[in-house]
Amino acid sequence: MNLGSRGKKDYTLFDAFRSAFSGIIFSFKTERNMRIHLLAAIIVIVSGFFFSITNVEWMVLILVIAITIALELVNTAIENAVDLITAQEHPVAKAAKDIAAGAVLIFCIASVGIGLIIFIPYIIERFFM
Catalytically active residues are: 72
Answer yes or no: are the C-beta atoms of 23 and 33 closer than 8 Å: no
Please state, in angstroms and rounded to a whole number, the distance separating the CA atoms of residues 38 and 42: 6
Tell how far CA 94 is from the center of its chain.
21
Answer yes or no: are the C-beta atoms of 67 and 40 closer than 8 Å: no
Q: What are the φ and ψ backbone dihedral angles of 67, each rounded to 5 degrees?
A: -65, -40
Q: H-helix or E-strand containing 71? A: helix 55-85
Q: What are the φ and ψ backbone dihedral angles of 69, each rounded to 5 degrees?
A: -65, -40
